Amino acid sequence: MKRKKWLSLLSLMMVIALMITGCTTAEPVASEEPVVEEEIVVETVKIGAIFPLTGGAAATGVKLKYAVETAQEIINGEYPEIAFPMAENAGLENLDNAAIEFIFGDHQANPEIAKSETERLIQNEGVVGLVGCYHSSSTKPASATSERYMIPFVAGSSSSSALTERGLNYFVRIAPHDGMETEFFFEYLKNLNENYDADVKTVATVYIDNEYGVHANMMVDKWLEEVYGEEGFERILDVKYPSDASNVDTEVLKIKEAAPDIIFHASYINDMTMFANAYQLYEVQPKVVISYCGGFQDQQFLINLEDAANYYSGSNQTIPAIIAANEALSKANEIYKAKSGVDFDGPALEDFASAMVIAEAINMAGSTDGDAIMEVLKSEEFKAPYFATGKIKFGEDGQNEFSASAMTQIIGGEYQNVWPGEDTTSDPVVAFPDWSTR
C-alpha cells in the first residue's frame, strides 16, 4: 500500500513540475484575434518584433531592436519637431491615443524558434501585428505562421526575393529584395562603363553559404542570363564559403588568381572584414567591389578597417551623409544613437520603417483587425520621409515598389552617395588604386 502512495507522490511531483512551467506564462488567449469594436477602448496595441538577439548575428539583431524601440518612442511620444507621420501626437490618434508596444522575441537564428516565437507572441501576448526577422530564413516560417493566424507581418530588412513570391495575403516587405538589388548593381556598373570609362566586365560572386548568400548568387545568375550577359558582363568565378570560416585565405587566393573586374559580395560584418583584410594582405585588386545588404553597410566595417575600407561600394538605404541632409531623420537618429551608440544604417532604418508603417496602418485602419490593416497596407502610399525616396508603396505581392537604395562608396573614410541622381555627395572612384600606393 505504501508503495502505491509513493508512486502517486512521484507522479504528482512530475505533474506539478511540468504544470508550474506551463502555468507561469499561460494566458490563454481566444484563438480569434480581438476585433476592436467602436465601444471597446484599446489601451495598448501590441506588436511582435522577432530578431536574432543572441548568437552569431546578435550584434545586428540588437541594433534592429533599438531601431524598433526608437520608432516606439517617436510614435508614443509627442515629437512635433520630427516631421514623420505618427510623431506629432502621442500614440495612435484614431484609437484614442492608444500606445503601441513592441514585444521582442529572440529567434537565435533558428527558423524553428522564429516560428514558435511567432505563435507565442500571437497566442500568449495577443500581438495584432509582427515585424522582423532580419534573417530571411527566419522570416519565412514566421510569416507563413502569421499568415495562418491572419496577423499582418511587415518585414523590414529581410532580402530574399522568395519572401514575396509566396502569394501570402498578410505579408509585406520594405527592403528591396536581392533580385531588385542585383539589377541595381548592374545598372550602376553600366553607368560606370558609360560615363566613367571603367571598362568592367568580368564578375566574381563571393557569398556566404546560407539562404542570404546562396539566394543572392542565384539572382546574379538570373540577371546575367536574362539581360546583362548580352550587355557584355560575364561571370568568371563563384566562391561560396562556410558560414563560420576560420580564415578566408583560400577563397581570396582563388579570387586573386581569377582577377575579376567586379566582385559581388554577400557577406556579414565578420566575414566581410576578414575578406577586406585578406584583399589587402594578398594585394587583390578588383576594380569594383559591391556588397549586398550585409557587412559593408554596418558602420563597424569602417571601424574595423580604417583606411583599408576605402573604395568598397554597396547599396544603402541610408548613410550618415544622407541622415545629415534630412532634418527629421537627424532628430530620430539622435534618439537611436542614444540607445545603440551608432548612427542609423540601412537595415536599422528599414526595420525602423517597418515599425512606423505598421503603426501608421493600424492608425489609418482605425482598428486592430488583421484584414482592415492589410487593406490599408496594400492600398495606401505611405509617406516615408526617412527614406530618400520619401514614400513606401506595397505592390500586389507585398513588395515595396520604391527602393530607397543609393549606391554608396567609402571614400576618404566616409560613406558617399555616388549614384543615382541628384543627391550624390561624390563621384565614384572607378577602380581600386594599386595597393603599393596606399
Partner 1 sequence: MIIQIIISGIIMGLIYGLVATGLTLTWGVLDIINFTHGEYLMISMYVSFWLYSLMNIDPLLSLPIVIIVMFIIGYLTYSIVVKNVINAPALSALLATFGLSLVFRNMAQFLWTPNARFITNSVLSGKKISIGSIIIGYPQLAAAIGSLVVIYAIYYFIEKTKVGKSIQATALDKNTAKLMGINTERVFGLTFAISGAAAGIAGGLLSTFYPVYPESGILYALIGFVIVALGGFGNIKGALYGGLIIGLSEAIGGYYLGTQFKYAIIFLIYLIVIQIKPKGLFGW
Partner 2 sequence: MEKSITNNKKMIGVVLLIILALPIIVQDNNFRHIMILFVLYAALGEAWNIITGYAGQTSFGHAAFFGIGAYTSTVLLWKFDIIPWIGMLIGGIIAVVVAIIVSYPAFKLTGHYFAIATLAIGEIMLQLFVSWEYVEGATGIMLPIKENGYKYMQFHPMNKLSYYYIVFGLFVITVITAYIVGNSKMGFYLKAIKENPDAAQSIGINVTRYKLYAMMVSAFLTAIVGSFYAQYVTYIDPFMVFPLALSMQIVLITVIGGLGNIYGPILGAAILIPLSQYTRIIFGGTGKGLDLIIFGALVVIVTIFQPNGLVGLFENLFKKIKKKEAINDGKLHDVS
Please give the residue ranges that form the binding site for partner 2 (CB under 8 A). Answer: 2-3, 6-7, 10-11, 14-15, 17-19, 21-28, 31, 53-54, 58, 61-62, 65, 103-106, 108, 110-113, 115-116, 119-120, 123-124, 137, 140-141, 144-145, 148-149, 160, 162, 166, 209-211, 213-215, 242
175/410 with CB nearer partner 2: 175
Instruction: Count the helix, strand and coil residues of the chain and give each as a percent rounded to the nearest 5.
Output: 45, 20, 35
- Find the shortest distance in angstroms from Cβ 62 to partner 1: 7
Neighbour tally for 393: CB within 10 Å: 16
Give CA–CA dist 171/182, Å, rounded. 23
Handedness of CA 218, 221, 227, 231 (dihedral sign): positive
56/77 with CB nearer partner 2: 56
Q: List the grid coordinates of 293.
A: 545588404
Give CA–CA dist 157/316, Å, rounded. 11
2/38 with CB nearer partner 2: 2
Residue 89 touches which of partner 2, partner 1, none (CB < 5 to 8 A by kind)?
Answer: none
- Find the shortest distance in angstroms from Cβ 192 to partner 1: 28
DSSP 155: E
Omega prior to 28 cis, within 30 of 0? no
Residue 210 touches which of partner 1, partner 2, none (CB < 5 to 8 A by kind)?
Answer: partner 2
β-sheet bridge partners, residue 290:
264, 313
- Find the shortest distance in angstroms from Cβ 436 to partner 2: 38
What are the distances in angstroms from CA 257 to CA 233, 237, 252, 254, 283? 19, 10, 9, 5, 11
158/326 with CB nearer partner 2: 158
Residue 99's H or E segment, with its range, is strand 99-106
CB 315 within 8 A of CB 405: yes
- Find the shortest distance in angstroms from Cβ 71 to partner 1: 22
- Find the shortest distance in angstroms from Cβ 209 to partner 1: 5
CB 295 within 8 A of CB 269: yes
Cα 120-123-126 angle, rounded to 5 deg: 105
- Find the shortest distance in angstroms from Cβ 245 to partner 1: 7
137/317 with CB nearer partner 2: 137
- Find the shortest distance in angstroms from Cβ 54 to partner 1: 7
Binding site for partner 1 (CB under 8 A): 54-59, 62, 209, 239-242, 244-247, 249-251, 253-254, 256-257, 269-270, 273-274, 277, 280-283, 300, 303-306
Give CA–CA dist 279/372, Å, rounded. 52
115/287 with CB nearer partner 2: 115
56/320 with CB nearer partner 2: 56
Residue 6 touches which of partner 2, partner 1, none (CB < 5 to 8 A by kind)?
Answer: partner 2
β-sheet bridge partners, residue 291:
265, 314
